[in-house]
Amino acid sequence: MGESGAAVFRRSDGCLFAKCVSHWAVSDLRDERDRVEWLGGTPVPCPELAGWHEADNGACLVTTAVHGIPACEVSTEAVPRALSSLAAVLRALHDLPAQTCPFDRTLVVTMPVVQNTVSRGAVIVDFLDPAWRATPPSDLLAGLQAELGRATRLESADLVVCHGDACLPNFLLDPETLECTGVVDLGRLGVADRYLDLSLTAQSIGSTGMNPQYSSADADAFLQTYGIDHPDRRRMRFYQLLDSLSWG
């Protein structure tokens, strides 16, 4: 399961998950372990840390299972309630006191990640919006750099605790009530501009190819329920592109 290349296993009794990576991804998984532990001390629902195993050839993070179904698997009828739950859990996360969070996910951290991915020629073209696929990644990066001054000003005025990979599969919902039972995949959690999360959730909701129960109107409804009536589209595009160029 999952998109990161990690192998994710659920124990046959359904109570535990194990996420296993090769040696080159151990430090990312260690980051995730530390963030699971930290978020567990807040009211935001998430798995508990249940074990950590490290060897020369890789590592394995064991967490308790969050009950529920991923938000990408709800039925069409359930979408309105799912949108409210997604907005509510992101609000709760973003309302945590940012100064208590020890993890940085600001542009000071994320821009070098993107620069590194682009300079290695490692960008995953499938992760790019079709409109961006014909443009060389180095030109896309130049576009981000041109916007960096504005994005940095907006970021410093509005720092919150972000999930960092707030796409639909990483939110678990109760299949009956559609309440959010937990957020998973916390390796990129940290203090950043709230648009880092909002742009990814909205993009995931609007990706009708991947999540056909949802629509682009649902992405706007999600933002409105969160409390943003007039989204800053330029900021949304900046963070969508930043994320697309950060994998690889």
Ligand X SMILES: Nc1ncnc2c1ncn2[C@@H]1O[C@H](COP(=O)(O)OP(=O)(O)O)[C@@H](O)[C@H]1O
Residue 185 sits in the site that holds Mg ion (CB under 5 A): yes
Residue 45 sits in the site that holds ligand X (CB under 6 A): no
Can you read off the two tokens belonging to residue 212? Answer: 């056909």
Distance CA 188, CA 37 (A): 13
- In the bound state with Mg ion, the residue whose beta carbon lies nearer, of 137 and 169, is 169
Which range in 60-68, 87-95, 101-109, 203-211 contacts ligand X by CB under 6 A? 60-68
Interface with ligand X in residues 66-85 (CB under 6 A): 66, 70
Which range in 65-73, 89-97, 98-106, 121-129 contacts ligand X by CB under 6 A? 65-73
Interface with ligand X in residues 126-155 (CB under 6 A): none
Residue 175 sits in the site that holds ligand X (CB under 6 A): no
Q: How far is CA 158 from the centre of its chain?
A: 18
- Eight-state DSSP code of residue 113: H
Residue 95 is among the residues annotated as catalytic for this protein: no
Residue 2 sits in the site that holds ligand X (CB under 6 A): yes
Which residue among 31, 165, 193, 229 is the active-site one?
165
174: Cβ contacts below 8 Å, ≥ 6 apart? 67, 68, 180, 181
First to last CA, the chain: 17
Place of tokens 């576009």: 143
Q: CA 75, 78, 83 angle in degrees (round to 5)?
A: 115
Q: CA 186, 205, 170 angle in degrees (round to 5)?
A: 20
Residues in touch with Mg ion (CB under 5 A): 2, 170, 185
Residues in touch with ligand X (CB under 6 A): 1-4, 6, 8, 17, 19, 47, 63, 65-66, 70, 169-170, 172, 184-185
